[in-house]
A and B are shown apart, each in its own frame.
Chain A
Amino acid sequence: MKVLDKPLVVSGELSWLGGDRLERRVDKPAKEVSTIADGEVTQERDGRKPRTFSLKRAPQLKILLDSFVALLGGDASRLDDSFDVHLGRDADRWALTLTPRDARLVKQIASIQVYGSGNQPRCMRMNEADGDTSIDMLGELATHMPAEPKLEAVIAQCGGAM
């Protein structure tokens, strides 16, 4: 990220609670649980009052939630509603590129890429319009996360060849 000297590494668990509910549990560096449910985002951190803001305030976040839920739930038509979907294949590996259809959203999130092999997604990479990139490494890759990763190495690990 531009605003930071070094990459920000966060590790934890992302779980889909069914419906439009998503829970994101972060263990490192600080414990934090974010829940998106019933149109509200609740962030709970150790030793603080939970912070709640409405999804209405963040329509972009709502679309991201849509994509997560649609991906995890395997709902192709819902995905198609919000994104321009492009699938690339290379033998066993695949990459799904999602470009938001909402012109206003594109100004913030240029695209989302999901890398995987077989039937297992491995990474989710979000390319923000300002050049910042964030990568969610999923499954076993996450357990091998170096403490101070280099972006290029991580991309390579995800299957950046494609």
Chain B
Amino acid sequence: MSRARLGLLVLWLLALGLLGWLASQHLKIGTDLRSFMPAPTTPDQKLLMEQVGEGPGSRLLLLAIEGGDDARKAAWSRGLATALRKDPAFTQVVNGDFDMAALDERLLPYRYLLSPTLDTQPLDKDYLADELQQRLDDLGSPAASLLKGLLPRDPTLEVLKIAERWTPAHSPDVREGVWFSSKGEALLLAQTRGAGFDPGAQGEAIDHIRAALTALPDGKDARLTISGPGYFTVMVNAQTRDEADWIGRVSTVGFIVLMLLAYRSVRSLLLGALPVATGALAGIAALMAMFPEVHGITLAFGFTLLGVAQEYPIRLLSHRRAGESAVASVRGLWPLLLTAIASACIAYLAFYVSGVGGLKQLAVFTISGLLAAGFSTRYLLPYLLPEQARDVADTPGLARFRAWLDGLPRPRWLPVPVVLAVLAMLCFAPGPFWQNDLSALTPLPRDLLMTDARLRGELGAPDVRYLLIVQAKDADAVLSASRKLEPAMHALVKLEALDGYELPSVYLPDLETQRARQAKLPDQKTLDRELALALHGLPFRKDLFAPFVADVEQARTLPPLTPEAFEQSPLGQRLAAMLVHRGDQWVGLSTLSGVRDPQAIETALHDTGVDARLLDLKDASESLVAAYRTRILHAVLAATALLFITITLALRSIRRAWHVLAPMTLATFLVLGVERLAGIPISLFHLVALILAAGLGLHYALFFERDTGDAAEQRRTLHATVVCVLSALLVFGMLAWSSIPVLRAIGLTVALGVAFHFCLSILMAPHVREDRLP
């Protein structure tokens, strides 16, 4: 190798190394799935986008601890809850360890404003006498030890009434003071601060939980079961990455073997990898320059789409002739290669204008990647390749294969039956055409779902699918509307339309209600008199109830409790999660559990006349996916139109453009038809994979269409195409065997696409012999 070459290689590698170092230092990868969704337009979609990841239901992790006796499990439960409550990654941790301290000491006098007692019952002598008689009976009853402490301050037991209101209707068994499942596991609910569908944040939260449990005494013996949307996100992410890594390793080995067989040169193999590496790093650099954060999916899809770029060095390697320098070879090849690169880039421009953040990034990455790979193949790679190369046209068997292909009939009417077959397949295909349910692409193992359903049932944890939405102009109006819903919701639970609900007004009544209750509190003189009358004939110690009288007096003059003040208390986070300020509106979010009859709930909500409705997150997310797909389809249509124009202009002939574009289009629809016939609903991932396959197909068709009139050059074209097809089949065929639907969708679509594109572009290419005729 000459010094000039060596210098070039070192410079190139240094540049790549520098780019790689920059990327590793500055690349910020976002994992939130939502940045790959279209920007929400309607208020409902905005709400959905927030709720999909950040709704109280989706941020909930369900924990079950096993191992050891009840006392040990309860100790772990308490220890874990204490540790996690101090952890900023969690907003709320509950384990059934309900204590009165949950109601802040400062808020205790507010109990008369929070409890509904005064709505129906004044604190007069009759009521007090009745209550006090009951307390006396209580003291002689099994409940005595429970109530005695409360008696002086709270003889009417308002605190217990509030606690009852705040306890979910279906709560698990309490043993040793904490929740236990019927299977004997200690149960906890932990709400994370991070979004539910952010695998990064959720993974961190889960690590914290495990670390906190292990750090407890004997914590290593505890067996922890975790469930909930966040955990699933992490699981699916890890599973997908594991499988992709494994498949990637196998196909890399296969690819290396294939390249060695095809070119019999380690140097060519190593040098041939440089343009794709350049493309990938250039793409990342462009992303870093244009966006503050790069989405993980952009990179995953981007690397997939950049697979097209591997064709460039393969074309160069295959088209070398004996005795011709690589620079000369590439000059002959360049016009066609440039057409291919330019048309692909122009097509991806359509993605840039799609208006979806993730797709925009994808376009930037792919366009800059393809350009970098293409231009490095043209202007750098040829100067590094050895002067002399084996002419692949002499590869044994290649001539015979070419002759056989040439001998195949190439009927001009071929497109007609293909179109008819595609139409028939699309018409008679079973099942729905589109896959709107994103979760179907990342299915969870059945036992995980069973565990989730079981824990959710035992904990009475809220449904992730439904949310009750109340809208009003301010927080207090939301609370007031929520209060009007309470009777209707109560009736619905009675009718078994659902198991339970959590309305914001259950935690904090609106100001008007609080003021009305306040107005009903007697002044101290009146209360003293009524209490004295009520106590007549009862054996309670004199002055025992002084703290009660003091609290009532204080409650009379307190400013009503606002959401802001309430949110400072230990239970405040719960209310904070339910009251959301957005724009000039306030939204109340109520979680529901065990929804059985959404229709009945909808009707009952409508009948209350309050501005409230049931939001079905599944429905809403499906409609969002459908909207997203429409955007992609529009982008694809625009890309196709651009492609037609580019190719026609480049080839300066509609007939030649037809020879390139017809096989590509037909093959794309053929893949669609075959997948639909197999009962596969088409998802976003299929669409992206179809685009990649079309990009590869475009290359095959362009090169097969090339009119050289040279038999050896035809063989070289065939050699290059076969290497490309085999490598694509190898890489994507492996993915098609994956157990994960996302990977399978991409693998199957590209593998099928490559096969169809290859066959159709040969069968629809102009006949060699015809071409040879003058």
Q: Which residues of A contact B (CB under 8 A)?
A: 1-6, 8, 10, 24, 26, 30, 32, 34, 36, 39, 41, 43, 45, 48, 53, 56-61, 64, 102, 104, 108-109, 128, 130, 132, 134
A3-B152, A3-B544, A8-B539 are known contacts. Are A45 and B137 too (CB-CB below 8 A)? yes
Q: Is the CB of A4 within 8 A of B540?
A: yes
Q: A8-B140, A10-B140, A59-B174 are in contact. Are A128 and B540 (CB under 8 A)?
A: no
Q: Is the CB of B139 within 8 A of A109?
A: no
Given contacts A5-B540, A132-B148, contact A61 B173 (CB under 8 A): no
Residue of B nearest to A7 (CB): B539
- Give B123-140 interface residues, CB cut-off 8 Å to A: 133-134, 136-137, 139-140
Q: Are A56 and B174 in contact (CB under 8 A)?
A: yes
CB-CB < 8 A to A1: which residues of B?
Answer: 139, 148
B176 in complex: contacting residue of A41, A59, A108, CB < 8 Å: A59
Pair B145/A109 contact, Cβ less than 8 Å: yes
Chain B residues closer than 8 Å to A43, beta-carbon distance: 141, 143
Q: Chain A CB within 10 Å — which of B133, B134, B542 has the most? A: B134
Please, which residues of chain B bring their CB within 8 A of the CB of A45?
Answer: 134, 137
B175 touches A3 (CB 8 A): no
What's the least CB distance linking B139 to chain A, in Å? 6
Interface residues of B in 151-174 (CB under 8 A from A): 151-152, 171, 173-174
Are A5 and B541 also in contact (CB < 8 A) when A56-B173, A59-B175, A130-B148 are?
yes
The 6 closest A-B pairs by CB, nearest first: A10-B140, A56-B174, A4-B539, A5-B539, A108-B145, A8-B140
Give the distance in Å from the alpha carbon of A32 to the alpha carbon of B133 in the complex.
Answer: 12
A104 and B178 CA atoms in complex are apart in Å by 12
Q: Known contacts being A3-B152, A3-B541, A59-B176, is A24 close to B141, with CB within 8 Å?
A: yes
Q: Is A128 touching B145 in the complex (CB atoms < 8 A)?
A: yes
With A3-B139, A8-B139, A30-B137 in contact, is A61–B146 under 8 Å at CB?
yes
B142 near A36: Cβ-Cβ < 8 Å: yes
Residues of B within 8 A of A (CB): 133-134, 136-137, 139-146, 148, 151-152, 171, 173-177, 539-542, 544
Alpha-carbon distance A32/B541, docked complex (angstroms): 24
> Known contacts A45-B134, A58-B143, A64-B142; can you find 20 more A-B pairs with CB under 8 A?
A3-B148, A3-B152, A3-B544, A4-B539, A4-B540, A6-B539, A8-B140, A26-B140, A30-B137, A34-B141, A39-B173, A41-B142, A43-B143, A56-B171, A59-B174, A60-B145, A61-B145, A108-B145, A130-B148, A132-B148
Question: Which residues of chain A have C-beta atoms less than 8 A from B140's C-beta?
Answer: 8, 10, 26
Q: Could you tell me the distance in whole angstroms from the C-beta of A53 to the nearest C-beta in chain B?
A: 7
Give B377 Cβ to nearest chain A Cβ, in Å: 72
Q: CB-CB < 8 A to B137: which residues of A?
A: 26, 30, 32, 45
Q: List 21 A-B contacts (CB under 8 A).
A: A1-B148, A2-B541, A5-B541, A8-B140, A8-B539, A10-B140, A24-B141, A30-B133, A30-B137, A32-B137, A34-B141, A43-B143, A48-B134, A57-B146, A58-B146, A59-B176, A60-B146, A61-B142, A104-B177, A130-B148, A134-B144
Instruction: Specify the chain B residue showing the minimal Cβ separation from A30.
Output: B137
In the bound complex, do residue B136 and residue A8 qualify as a contact, i.e. CB atoms below 8 Å apart? yes
Q: Which residues of A contact B139 (CB under 8 A)?
A: 1, 3-4, 8
* B142 with A3: CB separation less than 8 A: no
Chain A proximity of B731: nearest CB distance (Å): 58
Interface centre among A4, A30, A108, A134 (most CB of B within 10 A): A4
A135 to B542, CA, bound (A): 24
Cβ distance B428 to chain A, nearest Cβ, rounded Å: 58
Kindly state the separation between the CA atoms of A3 and B151 in the bound complex, as whole angstroms: 8
In the complex, the answer to whether B141 meets A32 with C-beta atoms within 8 Å is yes
B441 to chain A, nearest CB (A): 41
CA A69 to CA B173, docked complex, whole Å = 20
Residues on B with C-beta less than 8 A from A2 are 541
Q: How far is the CA of A109 from the CA of B142 in the complex (A)?
A: 12
Q: Provide the residues of chain B in CB contact with A128, threshold 8 Å.
A: 145, 148
- The answer for the CA separation of A5 and B541 in the assembled complex, in Å, is 5
Please, which residues of chain A bring their CB within 8 A of the CB of B143? 41, 43, 53, 58, 61
**Which B residues touch A130, using CB under 8 A?**
148
* B220 → chain A closest CB, angstroms: 24
Which A residues are in CB contact (< 8 Å) with B144?
134
Report the bound CA distance from A45 to B136 in whole Å: 13
Which residues of A lie under 8 Å from residue B541 when comparing CB positions? 2-5
CA distance A2 to B173 in the complex (A): 33
Q: Which residues of A contact B133 (CB under 8 A)?
A: 30
Q: Chain B contacts of A108 at CB under 8 A?
A: 145
Contacting residues, chain A, for B539 (C-beta < 8 A): 4-6, 8
Specify which chain B residues have a CB less than 8 angstroms from the CB of A109 in the assembled complex. 145
Complex contacts, B176 vs chain A, CB 8 Å: 59, 102
CB distance from B545 to the nearest CB of A (A): 10
Q: Closest Cβ of chain A: how far from B432's Cβ, in Å?
A: 46
Q: Which residue of B lies closest to A61 (CB)?
A: B142
The closest CB in chain B to the CB of A51 belongs to: B134
Chain A residues lying within 8 Å of B174, measured Cβ to Cβ, are 56-57, 59
A45 to chain B: closest residue by CB: B137
Please give the distance in Å from A160's CB to the nearest CB on chain B.
21
CB–CB B540/A34 < 8 A: no
Q: Which residues of B contact A5 (CB under 8 A)?
A: 539-542
